[in-house]
A and B are shown apart, each in its own frame.
Chain A
């Protein structure tokens, strides 16, 4: 475990150096993030100019939800999506061989090898948005609630991770799966509102096919005190199941990998 943590630190350090070669681009990305989050908050403010609640969600709760949305997106875009992009490239070109030869867990390696360091700023900004929202909610946030929040946030990220892993594993059979990922990214946007505002067909596809709906709504519910320990435990069990299935699929896919030009 310690060894893997140390490895991850080395990945992060090398990617950070790499990213700092393009310093201008780095700062521009941060500027973009401010723009994106700022305009998203603007959108919520405009809507709440006409109402005080949306499906039972108040303005501060919506701000918290938006913060969680960017936290989860930030987490996924920081590590998993850049790593998986490379993975698909490795499978297509056949260079995954080099990863397979290394004496570490391959799933860990392909999931975390590459980072888009600048996305760490999304995490920071998302957290700020969550805190601002919580201050507006004004409720007392106990230790238990914070713990449930952190747990459900972690489960949410892992839920999205298992879906992504499952999707990119398909590249062992179909080689080109960018299109599937495109659907995923298109649907991700729906996470900006609580999953219960959507009509049934979209809710079903959001929460089952694209778990982003659950991933975002659950932590926001937990911190607002609308989700108890049982709910979080159920979420944890579901997440464990999803990760298990995705990992099994990954191992199955790896067996049908034939290597470079083989």
Chain B
């Protein structure tokens, strides 16, 4: 398996090298939204005399820069790509190969994130300077962030695959994707740090998986959680990841029976 992955990685890095500019451009999508909301919250915070509900202006900056990094590292576009492959009939030859299609997209995903990480950090640096960010974390926040971001990326990736399998039944999953993205828009901490949401929305946020992908790793990276809380969050992430994997295996097996190979 390790040898297969090494080969795939080499092939994918070569493929990605051809589309360097494209990769950097798509990175913009990870950046724009957090910056927009950061700017808006900065305006709100200024209007309120420098802080809102315990978040100072520089806390907002730290949160949204953390959210940018987390959002980038947890991006997963498999549901879009998978729908395309099913519709074009490209899935069929992939299914005949001895390796599960999932592994190819793991490698694609990793290579994109690794190759765009440096430019992303440069942009984050510019944002950090513009908004006068102040990091208020301890060393163990960083230590906690490492497993948290790995779990979050895996969770986002698996959610993407669960949604992707919906293609087997629905053919077009635009609407499912929009529904999911807008739910994540509200409940994943993109609009506001979870602590600033109305209580009812906070309860929903903590019981849906989306915050475990974005808001929670971002809060950990910002240094906004106690150690006990951070560990509890990690458990929550692990539970959601396990659930997503189970759901995926179930949906994949049932969906494959439904698959009629468009264009075959």
Contacts and interface: CB of A to CB of B under 8 A. Distances in A.
Q: Is chain B found bound to chain A in the same assembly?
A: yes
Given A46-B197, A50-B196, A182 B25 contact: yes
B39 A47 contact: no
Chain A interface size, as a band, is 20 to 34
Interface stretch (B75-83, B91-99, B179-187): B179-187
B18 interface: no
A197 B174 CA distance: 32
B36 A50 contact: no
Contacts of A51: 44, 47-48, 52
Interface in B37-90: 39-44, 46-48, 52-53
B47 A54 contact: yes
Contact of B191 (A43, A182, A197, A201): A43
Q: Is the interface of B mostly helix, strand, loop or mixed?
A: helix
B178 A50 contact: no
A55 B45 CA distance: 10
A45 to B, nearest CB: 9
B22 interface: yes
A54 B22 CA distance: 35
Contacts of A187: 28, 32
Interface in A210-253: none
B175 A28 contact: yes
Contacts of B35: 202
A55 B43 contact: yes
30 contacts: A28-B174, A35-B178, A35-B179, A35-B182, A36-B182, A42-B186, A42-B191, A46-B196, A46-B198, A47-B41, A47-B191, A47-B192, A49-B198, A50-B196, A51-B47, A53-B47, A54-B40, A54-B43, A54-B44, A55-B46, A179-B25, A182-B25, A187-B32, A189-B32, A189-B36, A197-B42, A197-B43, A198-B39, A199-B131, A201-B126
